[in-house]
């Protein structure tokens, strides 16, 4: 014991640090959770399960939920963020099932397979639409099979690069490499690309093939569970209400995390220093926020590897825009506007129209159409004010329906994800640069240590090894970090072990 004590003193002297920096505190440990989204709430819930209550949640917004963002409409909620549940083998499915908010199993290609195509006066053949569907139907399983070969290609190919080769062969085989028919198939390709861009919330030219092998909900491929008009609102409330309100501090935007001392100090973005100091800090901020602020948010600076992970893991955009009319003008619940270059005065397709490929009726609010936007679309849409967006959508729909009397929508309900620096997008994906650097989402979950102690932890969907881009992944990541804290608090270290930590 005496020798262990001497070793500990020597190491402390060498490092020039107080002993409290070397030995984790236990019974008096304090926890700060940055963000009250799914990850932050689940971290807190996990701590409470073991009776641990010395924690604070700091949330920048005036509400909890993060990217789970239900908006009240009539007797239900429009889901700005999370809407589906991926797979059955997870606690979110169990909660949703208990709350009876699961509606149906929904195919990922539903927006394409079951939709009606409207193309105005353009002479688009139904046979060509069917020919294109026959071409693309086997591509998803083909690309997944390629991904699971797990060879060098998975690190250097994108989904678009694979498609471009198959598409070129398809055009050549069917003798449609030029002319108006080529324009038709290019228009159909725009619609098909949105399947991948919706799925991974990103531009398909940056979607690594690794997405298809790294992501796994342990369920049936190509389907998700749709929720009803209460859906994620009910799920969020169920989780939120387990946490006493005294632990949640709304309108508290964190600007600085200083873990240079024996305990961590936190400053709000307005310069206010939180008087309480913390032993554990769990950062659940969206990856897009970290991409903007990680280099100025932490003292000491984050390690180079951590910054590289933040830089290279993909953060994309997928959004829903809800258009409200007095009464529906449409006759089918799902439709695809298909403007074609060289038709209806369009020598080329406007970038905004290129992104408006899918409209779906809200079954419980049949006067609302939701447009699904992904890839290049979110920043384009976010840069338009409501009046301009309304005019552009109305012109497109009138032309495609051949009905100039269709009124403009009376209201637009949306969230500008790319304009909100708390998010800067919707969720993460495996980017090409990330794959080529051999970075995995799980790497972001590795805590930052100082003198052998865990000081800064990371949670959120972008840190989950197989359920990134999903609210379920965010929830599970929060539980993971809660357990990490509980395990650390429960560990009783002997002086000999203290000396080892010092090393």
3-class secondary structure, 88: coil
Q: Is residue 12 pLDDT above 50, yes or no?
A: no
Q: Is residue 16 pLDDT above 90, yes or no?
A: no
Average pLDDT of the segment spanning 17-46: 77
Q: pLDDT digits over 149-207, tens only?
A: 978 889 999 999 999 999 999 999 999 989 999 999 999 999 999 999 999 999 999 99
Q: How far apart are CA 408 and CA 391, in angstroms?
A: 7
Percent of the chain with pLDDT strictly greater than 90: 85
Q: Is residue 101 pLDDT above 80, yes or no?
A: yes
Q: Is residue 285 pLDDT above 60, yes or no?
A: yes
Q: pLDDT digits over 193-206, tens only?
A: 999 999 999 999 99
| Whole-number pLDDT of residue 26 | 57
| CATH 3.40.630.10 is held by the domain 2-67+233-312+434-502 | no
| Whole-number pLDDT of residue 110 | 67
| Whole-number pLDDT of residue 156 | 96
Q: How far apart are CA 38 and CA 31, in angstroms?
A: 17
What is the signed CA dihedral for 305, 310, 312, 315, rounded to 10 degrees?
Answer: 170
Q: Provide CATH 3.90.660.10 ranges for the chain.
A: 109-221+318-419
Mention every residue, 6+ apart, whose C-beta is less than 8 A from residue 49: none
For 34, the token pair is: 């940055």
For residues 175 and 131, is the Cβ–Cβ distance under 8 A? no
3-class secondary structure, 220: coil
The position carrying tokens 């020039």 is 16
| Whole-number pLDDT of residue 493 | 38
- pLDDT bracket for residue 1 (50, 70, 90): very low
Q: pLDDT digits over 398-414, tens only?
A: 999 999 999 999 999 99
Query: Edge-to-edge strands of the sheet including 453-458?
Result: 248-249, 55-58, 31-34, 280-283, 453-458, 448-450
| Whole-number pLDDT of residue 5 | 36
Q: How far apart are CA 316 and CA 197, in angstroms?
A: 9
List, in sequence order, every residue forming a beta bridge with 331; answer none if it has no partner. Answer: none
CATH number of 109-221+318-419: 3.90.660.10
For residues 372 and 320, is the Cβ–Cβ distance under 8 A? yes
Q: Provide CATH 3.50.50.60 ranges for the chain.
A: 2-67+233-312+434-502
For 55, the token pair is: 């924690």
Query: Which of 45-49, 71-75, 101-105, 107-111 shows the lowest per-residue confidence on average (mean pLDDT)?
Result: 107-111
Query: Which of 89-98, 263-272, 491-500 shows the lowest per-residue confidence on average (mean pLDDT)?
Result: 491-500
CA 356 to mean position of chain CA atoms: 21
For residues 42 and 479, is the Cβ–Cβ distance under 8 A? yes
Residue 488: which of 480, 478, 476, 496 has the closest Cα?
480
| Whole-number pLDDT of residue 500 | 27
| pTM summary value | 0.90
């Amino acid at each position: 014991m005496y020798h262990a004590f001497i070793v500990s003193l020597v190491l402390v002297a060498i490092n020039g640090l107080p002993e409290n920096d070397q030995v984790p505190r236990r019974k008096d440990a304090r926890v700060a959770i940055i963000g009250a989204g799914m990850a932050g709430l689940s971290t807190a819930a996990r701590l409470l399960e073991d009776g641990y209550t010395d924690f604070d949640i700091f949330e920048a917004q005036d509400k909890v939920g993060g990217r789970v963002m239900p908006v009240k409409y009539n007797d239900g909620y429009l889901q700005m963020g999370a809407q589906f549940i991926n797979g059955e083998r997870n606690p979110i499915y169990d909660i949703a099932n208990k709350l009876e908010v699961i509606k149906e199993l929904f195919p990922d290609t539903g927006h394409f397979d079951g939709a009606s195509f409207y193309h105005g006066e353009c002479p688009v053949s139904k046979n060509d639409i069917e020919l294109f569907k026959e071409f693309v139907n086997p591509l998803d399983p083909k690309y997944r099979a390629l991904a699971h070969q797990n060879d060098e290609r998975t690190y250097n190919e994108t989904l678009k690069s694979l498609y471009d080769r198959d598409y070129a062969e398809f055009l050549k085989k069917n003798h449609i490499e030029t002319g108006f028919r080529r324009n038709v198939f290019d228009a159909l390709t725009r619609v098909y690309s949105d399947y991948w861009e919706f799925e991974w919330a990103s531009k398909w030219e940056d979607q690594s093939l690794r997405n298809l092998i790294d992501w796994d909900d342990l369920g049936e491929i190509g389907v998700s569970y749709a929720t009803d008009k209460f859906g994620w609102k009910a799920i969020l409330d169920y989780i939120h209400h387990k946490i006493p309100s005294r632990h949640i501090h709304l309108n508290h935007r964190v600007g600085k995390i200083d873990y240079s001392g024996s305990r961590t100090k936190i400053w709000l973005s307005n310069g206010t220093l939180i008087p309480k100091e913390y032993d554990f800090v769990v950062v659940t901020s969206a990856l897009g926020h970290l991409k903007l602020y990680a280099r100025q948010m932490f003292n000491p600076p984050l390690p180079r590897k951590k910054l590289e992970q933040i830089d290279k893991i993909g953060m994309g955009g997928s959004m829903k825009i809800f258009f409200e009319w007095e009464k529906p003008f449409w006759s089918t619940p799902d439709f695809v506007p298909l403007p074609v270059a060289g038709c209806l005065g369009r020598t080329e397709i406007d970038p905004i129209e290129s992104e408006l490929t899918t409209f779906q009726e809200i079954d419980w609010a049949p006067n609302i159409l939701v447009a699904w936007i992904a890839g290049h679309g979110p920043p384009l849409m976010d840069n338009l004010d409501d009046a301009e967006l309304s005019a552009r959508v109305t012109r497109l729909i009138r032309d495609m329906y051949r009905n100039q009397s269709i009124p403009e929508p009376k209201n637009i309900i949306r969230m500008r994800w790319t304009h909100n620096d708390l998010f800067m997008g919707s969720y993460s994906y495996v980017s090409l640069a990330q794959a080529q650097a051999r970075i995995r989402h799980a790497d972001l979950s590795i805590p930052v240590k100082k003198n052998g102690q865990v000081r800064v932890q990371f949670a959120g969907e972008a840190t989950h090894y197989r359920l990134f881009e999903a609210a379920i992944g965010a929830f599970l990541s929060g539980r993971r970090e809660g357990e990490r804290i509980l395990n650390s608090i429960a560990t009783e270290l002997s002086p000999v072990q203290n000396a080892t930590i010092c090393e």
